[in-house]
Amino acid sequence: MKFLPYLLKHLRRSWFRTGLTVLAMALCIFLFCTLQSVLAQIGALLDSTSAKRLVTRNAVSIVFDLPQAYGARIQSVPGVERVALNSWFGGSLPTKKEGKTSEEDSSSSTTDWSNFFPNIAVELGPFFAMYPEYQLPPDQYQALLQDQRGCAIGRKLADKFGWKIGDTFYLESFIPVHRKADGPFEFVVRGIFDTDPVKYPGTDTNIMVFSYKYLYEATGRTLGAGTYYVAIKDPEKAGEVSAAIDALFENSDAQTRTETEKAFAASFISMAGNLALLLNGIGVAVTFTILLVVTNTMSIAVRERRTEIAVLKTLGFTSPQVMGLVVAESILIGVMGGALGIGASQGMMWLLTHTPGIRDALAGIGLSSLSLRPLVAALGFANAVFLGFVAGFVPALGAYRARITDMLRTV
């Protein structure tokens, strides 16, 4: 610790250079923490999926429906326990206008994207049977089944809008075929479901479900199924059952693609390509670049201080001590950059989850709980210290090996 003031004085010698290096390091750690937080959140989301559930969708694209008749045929496949037809509604709250509530202005066609949240039309019976993580009280479940306009919302969604049982709200879909001529859909909150975070970690309750029958009838009985949730008896046979389902419709107009819920969620989130690979690739590239920047800075700093290093050695500092000072200085840059980067990442998380529009866009893809996890922050900090160490090691090795007489001679 007695060398700390000495190190800090050296860092202040060229405060502009030190500041830029710390900022570069901070940028690196900021990106690392932010990207890893997004990946961790996606990972948690995927982990919340069940190995006992498959998703069957149109083989061409998720945007194309499947015939309703497929449900019964999928149910007949050996190994299938239950099938729930569903359709991503894509509804948003209508925009409030000056002096009018949403209800009064329910004929408006404009939607409030800033309050977007996932809402899905499902076959309620099989859905709640195959999603035990959504815990809906029995009386609320019965009330939901008896009211076609009824919906069940997750606890997080209820808290967000302050909705209670019996409250009414309106949603209008951005998908043309999910709209009805007389304005937005009216919903009545009939159930609020919770989840057990210990038993079902990562389960997001920022979601709403309602009866598919309501959507089907209100839109003129022409809709198909967006996807089918398929509960299977044995998770070990997921591949076998998936292949059997897809084989069933191989010669149909609408061929299917069945995959595990996890694979489906991953493809839904990433849409295209491997998001994790992309984000990690960016992280590695930035980290490597910053490593070069900091190494270069430390090399210049050591080169500028050849005489001082010679003086230190002449005064009795051993080579390992001199090397330690150089490495410690570099690590100090890492520590400062790391702390700054983690702070910035924390700020960014707060901004993302509190800025209307962005917050709700994230919620729409299940990332409403985006936050800087302690483990990611710790990894980011360790990364910064490691980068500082590696960046300082090579110049420090030069200082370690340098002979006093040679360094004094270059004056």
Closer of 2 and 354 to other proteins (Cβ):
2
213 binds other proteins (CB under 8 A): no
Task: Identify which of residues 3 and 174 has a Cβ nearer to other proteins in the complex.
Answer: 3
The residue within the footprint of other proteins, chosen from 319, 330, 345, 383 (CB under 8 A), is 319
Distance (Å, whole) CA 109 – CA 105:
9
Distance in angstroms (rounded) separating the CA atoms of residues 248 and 375: 46
- Supply 7's token pair: 């190190």
Max distance between CA atoms of the chain, in angstroms, equals 93
Tell me the CA distances in angstroms from 134 to 139, 147, 210, 319, one per residue in order: 15, 19, 13, 64
Residue 16 in the binding site for other proteins (CB under 8 A) = no
279 makes contact with other proteins (CB under 8 A) = no
**Both ends of the chain: CA-CA distance in Å?**
31
Whichever of 77 and 301 has its CB closer to other proteins, that residue is 301
Q: 10, 96, 160, 237: which one contacts other proteins (CB under 8 A)?
A: 10
Q: Which of 76, 146, 222, 405 binds other proteins (CB under 8 A)?
A: 405
Q: Which stretch binds other proteins (CB under 8 A): 139-147, 290-298, 318-326, 376-384?
A: 318-326
The secondary element (H helix, E strand) that includes residue 146 is helix 138-146
Label the pairing between strands 168-173 and 119-122.
Answer: unpaired
Beta carbon nearer to other proteins, 172 or 329: 329
Q: Tell me which of 12, 17, 233, 303 binds other proteins, using CB under 8 A.
A: 12
Find, among 193, 216, 189, 218, the residue nearest to 204 by Cα.
193
Smallest distance, other proteins to C-beta of residue 329, A = 12
For residues 150 and 141, give the distance between their C-alpha atoms in angstroms, rounded to a whole number. 10
Nearer to other proteins among residue 119 and residue 330 (C-beta)? 330
* Smallest distance from other proteins to CB 318, Å: 4
- Other Cβ atoms within 10 Å of 116 Cβ, number: 21
Beta strands in 18-77 (DSSP E): 53-58
Size of the site for other proteins (CB under 8 A): 27
- Rounded Cα distance between 162 and 80, Å, is 39
Mapped onto helix, strand or coil, the DSSP state of residue 357 is coil
Closest CA to 388 of 320, 322, 335, 340: 335
Binding-site member from 274, 289, 318, 410 for other proteins (CB under 8 A) = 318
| Residue 410 touching other proteins (CB under 8 A) | no
Residue 317 makes contact with other proteins by CB under 8 A? yes
Q: What span, in angstroms and rounded, lies between the C-alpha atoms of 249 and 240? A: 15
For residue 9, state whether it binds other proteins (rule: CB under 8 A): yes
Chain positions 284 to 313 lying near other proteins, rule: CB under 8 A, are 307-308, 310-313
Q: How far is the CB of 384 from other proteins (least distance, A)?
A: 24
Segment interacting with other proteins (CB under 8 A) among 6-14, 140-148, 230-238, 332-340:
6-14
Dihedral class, residue 393 (left if φ above 0, else alpha if ψ from -120 to 50, else beta): alpha
Contact 140, 165 (CB under 8 A): yes
Which is nearer to other proteins, 265 or 327 (by Cβ)?
327
Please select the residue that binds other proteins; options are 314, 351, 355, 382, rule is CB under 8 A.
314
- Minimum distance from CB of 402 to other proteins (Å)? 12
| Site for other proteins contains 397 (CB under 8 A) | no
Q: Which amino acid is at 60?
A: V
Interface positions with other proteins (CB under 8 A): 2-3, 5-6, 9-10, 12-13, 307-308, 310-321, 403-405, 408, 411
